[in-house]
Amino acid sequence: MQYFYQSPLGGISYELLDNGQCSHLTLIEPNQPVKPEAQTETPVSKWLDSYFNGRILALPALEKPHTAFQKKLRQALLDIPIGERRTYGELSRQLGTAPRALGQALAANPLPILIPCHRVVAASGIGGFSCGIEWKKSLLKFEHGC
DNA sequence: CCATTCATAGCCT
DNA sequence: AGGCTATGAATGG
């Protein structure tokens, strides 16, 4: 079942499975509001509230990673504190993989923000973002002020 | 400093 | 199995 959330940075849609786990989260075009009537209170919406208020709660139930690597990657991403950044090179060395392969894995992350893949940037420059580079910029900017 | 090239490798579908 | 990079380092202008 699909839900929507209106964040200060733009609309967010996400998918909850029957078991309550969040399987996907997508960032809509920044500054494009979503239909207000589609917003419903869920564990994910509560978490997003907490995130955008600067006091982050424990993560809601998430769908499990499909591979061992994704699990390791998810943990590594969650270990990056707010406001911190890692480069693709740094993180790939930490995980024992190649920078490019890491990019592939990040691009396939179905749970941006929840799993903070936006804190990984290129060695020079900002790098890419699956939901649009503008989102990555605003997220980093937002976290910087926390 | 910017553009281009190329080595590289493993993750995802 | 095969492609396909959300890289990075090196090079050359």
Q: What is the pLDDT of residues A48-78, one digit of tens each?
A: 999 999 989 999 999 999 999 999 999 999 9
Q: What is the mean pLDDT of residues A76-104?
A: 93
Token readout for A121 is 């940037």
Determine which helix (DSSP H) or strand (DSSP E) holds A95, and give its type and residue range: helix A88-95
CA of A123 to C1' of B1 (A): 16
Q: Which nucleotide is nearest to A122 (CA to C1')?
A: C7
Per-residue pLDDT at A146 exceeds 90: no
Looking at residue A32, its pLDDT comes to 60
Q: Is A117 a catalytic residue?
A: yes
Token readout for A120 is 């990984």
Q: Which nucleotide is nearest to A70 (CA to C1')?
A: B11
Per-residue pLDDT at A31 exceeds 70: no
Looking at residue A29, its pLDDT comes to 73
